[in-house]
Every structure is written in C-alpha cells, then in structure tokens.
Amino acid sequence: MINLARASLSGAVAAVVLALPQLAMAHDPHADLRIVTSFTINSMNPWQDGYWMQEFGQAELLMKFNEDGQHHPWLLSSLENPEPNRWVLTLRDGLHFQNGRPVDAAAVLAAIDAALDHSPAAQGSVPDGAEFTVTGALELTVTTPAPWPELPGVLADEQVFLILDADAVAAVGDDWAQLVGAGIYTGPYTVTGLDDTRLKAEAFADYWQGTPALPGLTVAFVPDPNARILAVQNNEADIALYPPLAARPAVDAMPDVHFNIGGLSTGGFTGYMNLEQGPLADVSVRKAVLRAVDYREIAEDVFRGGLAQAHSLYAENLPFALQNYQTDLLDAAALLDAAGWVTGPDGFRHKDGRKLSVILAIYPQQPDLVPLSTAVQAQLARVGIDAEIVSFDGINQALLEPSNQWDLAMVSTGAASWGRVQNFLNTYLLPGARRNYGGYDNAEVNALVPELATEVDPERRTEILHRIQTILWDEDPYAFSFNIHLGRVIVNDRYACYAPGFALYHVSWQTAPCD
C-alpha cells in the first residue's frame, strides 16, 4: 500500500523533477532584436494584417507622420497639390521591393488598386470619384471631384495603402503563407517566418536608406502583460510593448530593466457625455464636469508622468491644437449653482429631490481606466457631483445599447491618428455616426466637419478645428480628452536608450542596441 502511494507521488513528481536538467538552459543573447507585443499577427494577408508590417520594419508607406505633427514624404520624394482637386505624387528614384522588383509609378498604382479592391479601410478612406493615374515613370496623379485635403494623412495611415508588390500578392491567391519570404514590401526587414507565436524577419541588404542596423528581428506575440515584462527581465526579449502603467513602480525596482516613456501620441482617454439621458443632458452640468476635471493631477499625480496632460482635445504637438482646457472649480460650482443644483448636507448637489449623480463607464481591456476613473470620481466630488463607476465589456456596443445606463464614458481614442482629423470627427461627432455614443448633434459642428473635409487652405482648416475645439469646451461640450497618451515600453540594458516609436513606428532601419 505504501508502495502504491509512493509510486503515485513519485510518478507525478518525476515528470517534473526529471525534466529539470533539460529545463535549466542558458539563453544566449544574440544580435537580433527581440520584441514582445500583445497582439498576434494572424497571417501574411496584407489586407487584414499588413499594417503590422509597417510597425515592425517590413513595410513602408508613401508618407510618414512625424513627431512635429506634420506629414513628410517617405517613399515619395514629393507630394504636391498644384490645384485643389489634383495631387501629384512623385516617387523616390531607385526604390525596389525586397524581391528585387522596381517600385515605380505602375507598381504603386497596382498596390493602390489592389488595396481598393480588398481593403475596407482603403475603400472607406477614398472619396467617391477619386482617380489615381500614372503620369510618369515615377509620378502618379490623383484627381478628385472635390478637394481632398486628407490625402497626405491617408497616405501615412498604416491601414490604407501599404506599398507592396501587388503582382506577387495576387499570384498566391488566398494562400497567404506563401508570402513569407516573398519580399513583397520595401522595408528594411524581410519576413522570413510567421507562425502562431512569432514573426521573424531578416535584414534587407539593398534597403534604399542604407544597411539595416540589425541582422534581423523577432516579434513574439505575448498577450499577458506580466509575461511580457518577465520576458525582458529574463533576457528573452529586448523590448516589451504596451506595458501597463501600473507596472512602472515594480519595473523601476528591477535591475537591468527600464520603463521608458516616449513622446506625445495623437490620442488619449477621451470622455464622451451622454446627452440623451441623465444629468449631462444639461449643458451647464457638462461644462461643470469639464472644469472640475483636474487634467494636471491626472497626468502628474495619478499616472506620475506616464500620461501627458491634456490642454485640449488634441495633443499639443499638432499645429491646430488649442490650449483651452482649464481646471476651475469655482467656475464649475458657479455653473452648477446657476443651473439650480444646490449642495445638500451629504456634500452632493441636488435639484428637485434628485441627487446629481453620474455613471462613469469604463471597460476592462484598458486597466489604466481604473485609476483614471477613480481619480475623476474624486475630482467630481469636489464640486458636489456623485459618480459611480461601471465597467462594460465591449464598450463600443455597450454605449450604443439604449438599455445600458451611463453618463460619462471613458474610451481610448485617437482623435488625429496619423494626423487624420476627419475620421474622428466623422465617426464620433456627427449625428447618426457609428460611434456617436451620446447623441451629439450641434448644428455648427455638423456644418464645419463636412466643410473641413474639402477645405485645402491651411489657415481655414486651422480656424475650423479651433472653432470645433471651442464649441466642445465653451458652448456645447460633448467629447474631451482626459489626457494624451505617451509612448511607453519596457527595455533591457541593451536597449535602454530605445525611445518608444511615434505613431507605432516601432522599428526603423536605424533601430539598434545602445552600444
């Protein structure tokens, strides 16, 4: 009997213990860059997963959106707008795909046509009647029925027109795995392997900007944030993307591991107020909420510099961003007083027997919303607004579902992703738009947004965007930024100098270890 027990226990233990010698393997650091990211690249299908290739150095675009908030030529040598309805795109000379084929105007047109055939993002980004034509060996002309000022942003958007060898893509049909090693892009690193766990890429020796700094790279797909941090700590990865801010104190205490904060992004946690039900239907309460939020405290005290302070709806590096956010508790209190909300013995405001109480809607996919919503709850209480925090799974659907009760939703949003402002305005602010969660309908905004879509004069564009920001703060508040996101990564000593990529450009041809 004792032998039976002993045998059972030892059988279980043996499976683990006997394997330990094989488990204790040293991991030699090697020259390739090793990135761990939370998202999985599912396939080489360029219309479904191609945008990742731009982020990790395989693919490139015609234009690039830079930290200065401007669009700059990337594979183009110039982008000109000689007439309101005509753009001229001139390619750099001597470009080649990784498979050796030349990148000329015909090849770029083929890539654009293929995207328009297969990619919903491309189809949704190009206005009806737009025509792309080859007008020279390295020149394309775009003509549109109406002016198209967003074209530079569209050409810089990773979801729209990746420059790829359309013939090579067409040749594989739906067998996307055949594109591994096919060299269909122009970037400094060619995909040499892709499975369910990682992407591998090797340097493209004939890259047009110069020899890539690394022999290759791997991007491992690790959804769990703790595992990503541990991978860097265990020297199995050099860079971990998308670390939660809550991990910063623990990482700061680790030797040889660094939590690097980068520059401003183009989005942040955006507040959307419900105008269709509850107390925020009252414009005075909405204005009071904006002025009660302490934007500096959120950025500097709550997130200790891990997020940037919001000064307006847009990040301050964008040329059209105002600096109109101002925390003002006295003003907020005065607005509520004037609207008839009187402070009661419980410290909260009441009107007609109703307590001024709002529901803050957050969602579990963004763990940083927990400290943010808790901070906002405390800030609103300072002016007598009670707040309850409710987490909704699937926030986009939940906010549009009439049976769900919410007043102020906190959603991570890019208000000007890749410098494109039209997408956010069209999708979130116009009546009937897909993500107009709170039923916003402002006549002036409704007129300004379509005007902006065809306005090419930079001064008038800035004027329109300033006016929209003013309306959203001073006159008819609805959407506002709690903060602006900053890039952040966890790195090991070798990459201690690595700065988080702006606009998701994680790897360039110059990305290299610090030494």
Partner 1 sequence: MGRALVMRLGQAVLAAFGASLLVWLMLPLAPGDPVDMILNAQRVEEPTDQHIAALRDRFGLDRPLWQRYLVWIGGVVQGDFGLSWRTGEPVLSGLMRRLPATLQLVGLSFVISVAWSLGLALVAARWAGRWPDRLVLAYTRLLAATPSFVLALLVLQFVVVGMGIGLVLSGGAGATLIIAAAILGIDRAAGWTQLLRAGLLEHLARGPADVAKARGARPGRVLAIYALPAALLPWMTALGISLGGLIGGAPILEMIFTWPGIGEHVLTALSVRDVPVIQAFVLIAVLAYVAASLVVDAMAIMLDPRMRHARPA
C-alpha closest to that of 207 among 234, 188, 193, 235: 188
Considering only 107, 222, 307, 484, the residue that binds partner 1 (CB under 8 A) is 222
Query: Position 340: which residue type?
Result: G
- Binding positions for partner 1, 368-397, rule CB under 8 A: 394, 396-397
The answer to whether 230 contacts partner 1 (rule: CB under 8 A) is yes
In whole angstroms, the minimum distance from the beta carbon of 78 to partner 1 comes to 27
Burial grade of 445 (CB within 10 A; 0-12, 13-18, 19 or more): buried
Distance CA 108, CA 91 (A): 9
The answer to whether 146 contacts partner 1 (rule: CB under 8 A) is no
Dihedral angle, C-alpha 203, 208, 213, 218, nearest 10 °: -30
DSSP string covering 62-88: SEEE-TTS-EEESSEEEEEEEETTEEE
Identify whether the C-beta of residue 38 lies closer than 8 Å to the C-beta of residue 241. yes
In whole angstroms, the minimum distance from the beta carbon of 186 to partner 1 comes to 23
In whole angstroms, the minimum distance from the beta carbon of 103 to partner 1 comes to 26
Burial grade of 30 (CB within 10 A; 0-12, 13-18, 19 or more): exposed
Q: Could you tell me if residue 151 is left (phi over 0), alpha (psi between -120 and 50 degrees) or otherwise beta?
A: alpha
In whole angstroms, the minimum distance from the beta carbon of 143 to partner 1 comes to 20
Q: Which is nearer to partner 1, 234 or 326 (CB)?
A: 234
Q: Which two tokens stand for residue 429?
A: 């602010």
Q: With CB under 8 A as the rule, give the number of residues binding partner 1.
A: 64
DSSP string covering 117-165: HH-HHHHHHSPTT-EEEEEETTEEEEE-SS--TTHHHHHH-TTT-----
- Binding positions for partner 1, 156-185, rule CB under 8 A: 159
Give the distance, in angstroms, between the CA of residue 340 and the centroid of all CA atoms in the same chain: 40
390: helix, strand or coil: strand
Of 116-124, 136-144, 455-463, 497-505, the window that binds partner 1 (rule: CB under 8 A) is: 116-124
Give the distance, in angstroms, between the CA of residue 215 and the centroid of all CA atoms in the same chain: 28
Of 55-63, 120-128, 178-186, 289-297, the window that binds partner 1 (rule: CB under 8 A) is: 120-128
Distance CA 315, CA 485 (A): 9
- Binding positions for partner 1, 405-464, rule CB under 8 A: 423, 426-427, 434
In whole angstroms, the minimum distance from the beta carbon of 406 to partner 1 comes to 13
In whole angstroms, the minimum distance from the beta carbon of 147 to partner 1 comes to 19
Question: Measuring CA to CA, how many Å separate 255 from each of 97, 227, 229, 241, 496?
Answer: 42, 17, 13, 19, 12
In whole angstroms, the minimum distance from the beta carbon of 168 to partner 1 comes to 20
The answer to whether 221 contacts partner 1 (rule: CB under 8 A) is yes
In whole angstroms, the minimum distance from the beta carbon of 51 to partner 1 comes to 8
In whole angstroms, the minimum distance from the beta carbon of 447 to partner 1 comes to 20
The answer to whether 192 contacts partner 1 (rule: CB under 8 A) is no
- Binding positions for partner 1, 194-213, rule CB under 8 A: 195-198
The answer to whether 22 contacts partner 1 (rule: CB under 8 A) is yes
Residue corresponding to tokens 């703060």: 473
Considering only 9, 205, 338, 497, the residue that binds partner 1 (CB under 8 A) is 9
CA angle 81, 427, 40 (to 5 degrees): 95
Residue 475 gets which letter from DSSP? I
Q: Which is nearer to partner 1, 3 or 323 (CB)?
A: 3
Q: Which is nearer to partner 1, 12 or 137 (CB)?
A: 12
The answer to whether 120 contacts partner 1 (rule: CB under 8 A) is yes
The answer to whether 106 contacts partner 1 (rule: CB under 8 A) is no
In whole angstroms, the minimum distance from the beta carbon of 252 to partner 1 comes to 16
Distance CA 395, CA 121 (A): 21
In whole angstroms, the minimum distance from the beta carbon of 160 to partner 1 comes to 10
Lay out the site mask for partner 1 across 333-372 (x = CB under 8 A, - = otherwise). --------------------------------x-------
Considering only 121, 334, 381, 499, the residue that binds partner 1 (CB under 8 A) is 121
Q: Which is nearer to partner 1, 86 or 118 (CB)?
A: 118
Query: Position 51: which residue type?
Result: Y
In whole angstroms, the minimum distance from the beta carbon of 132 to partner 1 comes to 17
- Binding positions for partner 1, 233-252, rule CB under 8 A: 233-234, 236-237
C-alpha closest to that of 55 among 197, 159, 208: 159
91: helix, strand or coil: strand
Q: Which is nearer to partner 1, 33 or 237 (CB)?
A: 237
**Within a 10 A sphere around the Cβ of 193, how many other Cβ atoms?**
13
515 Cβ contact list (under 8 Å, min separation 6): 494
Residues that bind partner 1 (CB under 8 A): 1-2, 4-12, 15-16, 19-20, 22-27, 36, 40, 42-43, 45, 48-49, 120-121, 123-125, 159, 195-198, 220-224, 226-227, 230-231, 233-234, 236-237, 365, 394, 396-398, 400-401, 403-404, 423, 426-427, 434
